Amino acid sequence: MAKESGLGWTTASVDDSGSTLRALVNDLTSVRWTMPRGVQDATGLDKSAVERILLLADFSINLMGIFNDGSNASHDVFKTVGSASVVRTVTMVISGQTLTNECWITDYPLTRAATGEFTFDCPGSLQSGTAPTWS
């Protein structure tokens, strides 16, 4: 195992509303995801420390990038978020490691900063009931 940076990301793709996977790796400037597990407190009266049971897995993601209204680019992919209730496949590959999840993309917020940047930050949540797994 070798330590690596996040440079040279090879794949960051999201389905458009027609379920066609679109490469957005050039439009995205940042990505943040979590893969938490729920826990249940199962501490009995006989315990002197907390006892927990591991529960369901989850996944959420934020895709942040620069507005691009080119054909099959980020705006084409996300412009239907408010009107098309479709599940989106989100795929990320870095250093040969792949993470793919079926997600609801729940918003397409656009921001025009005072300095002129025009960006988005799209949140997504696990839809499929399949635990997120790297392959």
Asked whether residue 71 is domain-assigned, the answer is yes
Q: Do residues 23 and 9 lie in contact, with contact meaning Cβ atoms separated by under 8 Å?
A: no
Asked whether residue 135 is domain-assigned, the answer is no
Q: Which has the closest alpha carbon to 126: 93, 87, 92?
A: 87
Asked whether residue 6 is domain-assigned, the answer is no
The pTM of the full predicted model, rounded to 2 decimals, is 0.88
Question: How many domains in the chain?
Answer: 1
| The pLDDT of residue 29 is above 80 | yes
Residue-number span of the structural domain to which 27 is assigned? 11-126
| The pLDDT of residue 110 is above 80 | yes
